[in-house]
Amino acid sequence: MIVERDVVVVGGGPAGLTAAARLASAGLTVTILDEQPELGGQYYRRPAPEVARRWGDHRREGGELIAEARAAGVERRTGHLVWGVADDGRTLLAEDEAGSPVRLRGRAIVLATGAYERTFPFPGWQLPGVTTPGFAQHLAASDHTPIGERVVLAGSGPFLLPVACSLLALGVKVAGIAEAGTPYRPGLRALGALRHPARLRELAGYAARLARARVPIWQGTVVLRADGRDRVSAVTLAAAARPGLAVRTVEVDALCVGYGFRPQTDLARLLGCEVVSDAGTGDAIPVTDAAGRTSRPDVYVVGEAAGIGGAHTARARGLAAAHAILTRETGHPIPAAEIRRLATDTRRLGRFTALTDALYPSPALLLDTLLPALPDSTLACRCEAVTAGEVRAEAAGDVNTAKARTRAGMGPCQGRVCGFAVAGLAGGGTVFPSRVPVRPVRIATLLELGAVEETG
């Protein structure tokens, strides 16, 4: 049986919840799906009950938004993994917590699939204790568990600062932050932050906390390698301008490395939405209008899946899509004050996103800098144990050729972890191909789905 709704929303983070709550409050039948056991996404992830009782809710507004969606009558299907699109190009294929197949179809589809962390391989990144900053933040916020006792954070982007502060709050020794760019040096570009006093106060709060803990920030610095026997025990850093030349080695028991975030656009591409390769990030970005409407008029892409901008931007994009769907589907009038407020917020948030992009080095530039210095012996694809040298030797300038000859990017992560680097090593751009299933799915689910389709 195919579940039919006015709107199907994929992703229960800030953008998806905002869109779903607004649409349902206007009387549309709305189903929201998320693979996690609770709504909230990564940003509004709910803390474990015992953590909430003792430490409180680290982001109370997330709980309020979830309650708003529930009160509006949104059907919430958590523990549902959307892994593909049926041959009709309209029906979403999912599996529930028990592994049973689920098929859903909406007159409108809102993809709020979020983002995942951008990683880049280096010798030793497969060692236990080497993670992403997001995983460290997840443990700290949701479980109140430190990733280690002595930690270095590295990569690029403003996310490294709040993660460091979260670790400090748990009593972790943050040995340093290695930032590939130089965003914290005074300059004309940095003066743009004065137009965003709330964000400037937030940044100042992080900086003050790090200064009190005497956490050094090494700007223009990248990871050269991680060393250790059974677990990472040291990280060697290099100057970003000369990424093959060591400048310092730091003893650690955990290393968190991430270069910002990448939009999750697999479903949008499977649904046939037009995408373009962003010159600055190398990411596949859906082509949308201001409301998130794609080249398919019934499909909207919102939140981080439409381009990285943060939680506030994600909520604004979700609301814009809801307005457009209400206007198209019901002729529902949107109050003029609500339209003006959204337009003002969108312009302000857009300026802040542009400022952030200007302050930090672009991922495409970082890739051009780091790839030549990456040793051939480095594991580029951890799932399939494929080295950088193997990808370089077999790619023939095409990422699909590299996948076919080496299986790079064809493991459980389906290129989410290694795709950026593998595509770069292959020499055919940085957009990694999307295919069904976009996430690992149980064979039993596929067999049961086939049986259901055969019987009609």
What pLDDT, in 10s, does the model give residues 165-208?
Answer: 999 999 999 999 999 999 988 765 655 665 666 677 788 899 99
Instruction: Quote the Cα angle for 147-409-91, to 5°.
Output: 100
Average of per-residue pLDDT across 42-64 = 77
Q: What is the pLDDT of residues 390-402, one digit of tens each?
A: 999 998 888 888 8
Q: Which of 329, 268, 314, 317 is nearest to 295 (CA)?
A: 268
Please tell me which residue, 248 or 403, carries the higher pLDDT value. Answer: 248
pLDDT on residue 167: 97
pLDDT on residue 361: 92
Stretch(es) of the chain classified as CATH 3.50.50.60: 2-116+262-334, 121-258
CA–CA dist 207, 201 (Å, integer): 10
Q: What is the pLDDT of residues 130-144, one digit of tens each?
A: 999 999 998 988 778
- Confidence check: pLDDT of 147 > 90: yes
Highest mean pLDDT: which range of 203-207, 212-216, 364-368, 402-406: 212-216
pLDDT on residue 124: 97
Q: What is the DSSP letter of 216?
A: -
Give the chain's mean pLDDT. Answer: 90
Helix, strand, or coil (residue 370): helix
In the structure encoding, which two tokens stand for residue 55, read together? 């430490």
CA–CA dist 426, 439 (Å, integer): 23
Residue 170: what residue type? Answer: L
- Confidence check: pLDDT of 27 > 90: yes
CA–CA dist 253, 129 (Å, integer): 6
pLDDT on residue 249: 98
Q: How many residues does the chain have?
A: 456
Q: Which of 119, 125, 87 is nearest to 103 (CA)?
A: 87
CA–CA dist 227, 126 (Å, integer): 10
Q: Which of 116, 111, 119, 40 is nearest to 76 (CA)?
A: 40
Cβ proximity of 79 and 37 under 8 Å: yes
Average of per-residue pLDDT across 263-288 = 91
Phi and psi at residue 428, to the nearest 5°:
-115, 35
pLDDT on residue 62: 87
pLDDT-based confidence at residue 22 (cuts at 50, 70, 90): very high
pLDDT on residue 130: 98
pLDDT on residue 42: 85
pLDDT-based confidence at residue 437 (cuts at 50, 70, 90): confident
CA–CA dist 314, 306 (Å, integer): 9
- Confidence check: pLDDT of 294 > 60: yes
pLDDT-based confidence at residue 354 (cuts at 50, 70, 90): confident
Cβ proximity of 199 and 356 under 8 Å: no
Q: Which of 119, 85, 127, 129 is nearest to 103 (CA)?
A: 85
- Is this model's pTM higher than 0.95 or not? no
User: Which of these CATH numbers, 3.40.1790.10, 1.10.3720.10, 3.40.190.10, 3.50.50.60, describes 2-116+262-334?
Assistant: 3.50.50.60
- Confidence check: pLDDT of 24 > 70: yes
Percent of all residues in the chain with a pLDDT value above 70, rounded to a whole number: 94
Residue 355: what residue type? Answer: L
Q: Which of 291, 300, 297 is nearest to 268 (CA)?
A: 300
pLDDT-based confidence at residue 431 (cuts at 50, 70, 90): low
pLDDT on residue 192: 62
For residue 216, say if its preceding peptide bond is cis, omega within 30 degrees of 0: no
pLDDT-based confidence at residue 308 (cuts at 50, 70, 90): very high
pLDDT on residue 277: 87
pLDDT-based confidence at residue 318 (cuts at 50, 70, 90): very high
Instruction: Specify the CATH architecture of the domain 121-258.
Output: 3-Layer(bba) Sandwich (3.50)
Q: What is the pLDDT of residues 222-267, one digit of tens each?
A: 999 999 999 999 999 999 999 999 999 999 999 999 999 999 999 9
Average of per-residue pLDDT across 405-423 = 88
As a whole number of Å, the end-to-end CA separation of the chain is 8
CA–CA dist 20, 395 (Å, integer): 43
Least confident among 312-321, 362-371, 383-392: 362-371
Q: What is the DSSP letter of 143?
A: S
